[in-house]
């Protein structure tokens, strides 16, 4: 039985397009046919399609771009590519990109139908599995964006992930550094080894050595038992050293030694042990400048900076805003069981923002807008209000404003099951500020 969702067909040749549409229609499928990659990407930004059928050579972009976009909005999407000008490169690129099937033109209509049937059978199987996993438990693993800057990053990622090279990820806050680090690990040969993140900025300098290298019982005050360090715990996996710009001089030296020798000696121990870990580091500081100023060891910087991935701020890739906005809209609609829609005016306002907090800021804004959308429409006015709320502007006076604020806070707390730190994030305020507001509004 054909799936109820429409198939997306992307084909620039008008006669092929109409032949395929008619054929699939007769087979009982609902088909949405478009003739350009632009129209296809637009469709894909509006809803996920379970099955996409696309020609490869289309316009300035190709079926491979359609493939990538389709997989981004729905990793489960089965994409069938077809081309009359296939080459080893295109077939390999299609396979690497996760294409489900590759049909060389001309093909029999029955071959296409067979591919669709096979895709449907697989989808039915994976949906049965899906129901057993809770979306909240899955770590974020989808990287959204099809701007040229992001495509370049995907290319670097696919080249570097399978190697063991150290990678340094730089970029402003909220640009996706941790997400990239996770993707590097999940696309490496180190799976199913562990991915262990360490926030170097939040560990006291006096404890960081024990944290990373481990410590024997009694080796320092408070060490009441032997403790395994991160490097050893992450053996055969990847260690993500976040905020690497925050570590002090003495520890920079210890880390350098480790990178040279790949051995750990726990604090208080007199023997070293070899460990096999890959290092991915990240920072939102200008590390190069810190090296010039003598605040970061140049030799360590060389070791970490074998491959560099520089994430652009969101305002430098505004074309990704609609994709991201719809991705988060769908995600939070699902999570909070809403059906909010984003109007063209709302989207336009989003596209115009400066986004100092980058993707994270956009994400939290959409989460809040979805929770608060009372009539199901997120229009320019709603976006404007949402942006104001998170701009840090403090206490609104006036009774009616206080009332809206109270209502909003209550809604968000309810949606998050009273989780105050999540609620504060969604509301775009510090947790302390939320507590203050709760107290002032008499809600504690």
Ligand X SMILES: Nc1ncnc2c1ncn2[C@@H]1O[C@H](COP(=O)(O)OP(=O)(O)OP(=O)(O)O)[C@@H](O)[C@H]1O
Judged by the rule CB under 6 A, the positions of this chain that interact with ligand X are 140, 142-145, 171, 173-179, 284, 324, 359-360, 363
The mark string for 127-166 relative to Mg ion (x by CB under 5 A, - otherwise) is ----------------------------------------
Shortest distance in whole angstroms from residue 182 CB to Mg ion:
11
Which residue, judged by CB position, is nearest to ligand X in the bound state?
Answer: 176
430 binds, among ligand X, Mg ion, none (CB under 5 to 8 A by kind): none
Place of tokens 């050595």: 209
Q: How far apart are CA 265 and CA 210, in angstroms?
A: 10
For Mg ion (CB under 5 A), the number of binding residues is: 2
Q: CB 168 → Mg ion: shortest distance, Å? A: 14
Q: Which does 176 bind (CB under 5 to 8 A by kind): ligand X, Mg ion, none?
A: ligand X
List the single partner that 307 binds among Mg ion, ligand X, none, CB under 5 to 8 Å by kind: none
Q: Residue 175 binds which entry of Mg ion, ligand X, none, with Cβ cut-offs from 5 to 8 Å by kind?
A: ligand X
Name the helix (H) or strand (E) containing 290: helix 287-292
Closest CA to 9 of 80, 86, 90, 75: 80
Nearer to Mg ion, 54 or 361 (CB): 361
* DSSP letter string, 267-284: BT-SS-EE---EEEEEES
Under 8 Å between Cβ of 50 and 123: yes
Residues 6+ apart with CB under 8 A from 34: 8, 9, 10, 40, 43
| Greatest pairwise CA separation for the chain in angstroms | 79
What is each CA distance from 415 to 20, 272, 338, 411, in whole angstroms? 45, 50, 11, 6
Token pair for 271 = 């023997």
Min separation Cβ 415 and Mg ion, Å: 24
**179 touches which of ligand X, Mg ion, none (CB within 5 to 8 A by kind)?**
ligand X
Of residues 20 and 44, the one with the C-beta less far from ligand X: 44
User: Smallest distance, Å, CB 177 to Mg ion?
Assistant: 5
Q: Which is nearer to ligand X, 173 or 206 (CB)?
A: 173
Task: List binders of Mg ion among 81-110 (CB under 5 A).
Answer: none
Question: Rounded to 5 degrees, what are φ and ψ at 299?
Answer: -65, -35
Tokens of residue 315, six digits: 């305002």
**Given 178, 209, 320, 389, the residue binding Mg ion (CB under 5 A):** 178
Q: Which is nearer to ligand X, 82 or 153 (CB)?
A: 153
| Local structure of 29: helix, strand or coil | coil
Q: Which two tokens stand for residue 58?
A: 């289309």
Of the two residues 178 and 209, which places its CB atom closer to Mg ion in the complex? 178
CB of 401 to ligand X, least distance (A): 30
Q: How far is the CB of 120 from ligand X (least distance, A)?
A: 28
Residue with smaller CB distance to ligand X, 185 or 265: 185
Dist. CA 255–CA 262, nearest whole Å? 10
Q: How far is CA 395 from CA 38, 209, 402, 435, 441, in A?
A: 44, 43, 8, 13, 11
Integer Cα distance of 364 and 192 in angstroms: 31
Q: How far apart are CA 270 and CA 351, in angstroms?
A: 58
Contact partner at residue 146 from ligand X, Mg ion, none, CB < 5 to 8 Å by partner kind: none
- Closer CB to Mg ion, 68 or 177, in the complex: 177
349 binds, among Mg ion, ligand X, none (CB under 5 to 8 A by kind): none
Q: From Mg ion, ligand X, none, which one binds at residue 263 (CB under 5 to 8 Å depending on kind)?
A: none
CA distance 371 to 56: 40
Q: Which does 359 bind (CB under 5 to 8 A by kind): ligand X, Mg ion, none?
A: ligand X
Checking DSSP bridges between strand 278-283 and strand 167-170, what pairing results, if any? parallel
In this chain, which residue has its C-beta nearest to Mg ion? 178
Phi and psi dihedrals of 88, rounded to 5? -55, -40
| Least distance CB 312 / ligand X (angstroms) | 10
Q: Give the number of other Cβ atoms within 10 Å of residue 304's Cβ.
A: 25
Closest distance of CB 72 from ligand X, Å: 8
DSSP string, 300-312: HHHHHTTEEEEPP
- Which does residue 173 bind out of ligand X, Mg ion, none, counting CB within 5 to 8 angstroms by kind? ligand X
Q: Which is nearer to ligand X, 97 or 174 (CB)?
A: 174
Tell me the C-alpha distance between 379 and 401, whole Å.
Answer: 20
Q: Cβ 270 to ligand X, closest distance in Å?
A: 37
Closest approach of Cβ 160 to ligand X, in Å?
Answer: 17
Binding site for Mg ion (CB under 5 A): 177-178
């Amino acid at each position: 039985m054909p799936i109820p969702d429409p198939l997306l067909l992307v084909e620039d040749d008008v006669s092929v397009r109409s032949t395929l549409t008619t054929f699939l229609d007769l087979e009982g499928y609902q088909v949405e046919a478009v003739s350009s990659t632009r129209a296809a990407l637009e469709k894909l930004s509006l809803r996920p399609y379970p099955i996409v059928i696309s020609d490869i050579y289309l316009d300035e972009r190709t079926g491979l771009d359609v493939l990538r976009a389709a997989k981004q909005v729905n990793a489960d999407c089965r994409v069938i590519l077809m081309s009359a000008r296939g080459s080893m490169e295109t077939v390999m690129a299609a396979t690497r990109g996760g294409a489900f099937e590759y049909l060389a033109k001309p093909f029999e209509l029955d071959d296409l139908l067979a591919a669709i049937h096979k895709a449907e059978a697989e989808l039915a199987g994976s949906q049965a599995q899906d129901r057993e996993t809770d979306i909240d438990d899955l770590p974020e693993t989808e990287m959204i964006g099809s701007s040229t800057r992001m495509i370049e990053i995907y290319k670097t990622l696919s080249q570097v992930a399978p190697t063991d090279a150290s990678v340094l990820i730089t970029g402003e806050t909220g640009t996706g550094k941790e997400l990239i680090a996770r993707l590097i690990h999940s696309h490496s040969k180190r799976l199913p080894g562990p991915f262990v993140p360490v926030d170097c900025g939040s560990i006291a300098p006096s404890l960081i050595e024990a944290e990373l290298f481990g410590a024997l019982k009694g080796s320092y005050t408070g060490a009441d038992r032997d403790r395994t360090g991160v490097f050893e715990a992450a053996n055969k996996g990847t260690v993500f050293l976040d905020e690497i710009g925050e570590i002090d001089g003495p520890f920079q030296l210890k880390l350098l030694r480790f990178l040279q020798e790949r051995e750990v000696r726990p604090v208080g121990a007199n023997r070293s042990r070899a460990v096999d870990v890959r290092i991915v580091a990240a920072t939102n500081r200008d590390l190069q400048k810190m090296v010039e100023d003598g605040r970061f060891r140049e030799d360590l910087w060389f070791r970490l900076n074998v491959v560099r991935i520089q994430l652009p701020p969101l305002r430098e890739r505004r074309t990704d805003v609609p994709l991201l906005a719809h991705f988060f809209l769908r995600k939070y609609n699902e999570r909070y069981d809403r059906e909010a829609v984003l109007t063209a005016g709302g989207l336009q306002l989003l596209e115009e923002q400066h986004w100092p907090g980058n993707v994270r800021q956009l994400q939290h804004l959409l989460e809040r807008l979805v929770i608060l959308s009372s009539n199901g429409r997120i229009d320019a006015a709603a976006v404007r209000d949402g942006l104001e709320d998170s701009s840090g502007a403090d206490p609104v006076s006036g009774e009616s404003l206080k009332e809206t604020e109270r209502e909003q806070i209550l809604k968000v707390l309810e949606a998050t099951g009273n989780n105050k730190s999540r609620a504060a994030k969604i509301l775009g305020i510090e947790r302390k500020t939320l507590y203050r507001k709760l107290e002032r509004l008499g809600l504690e």
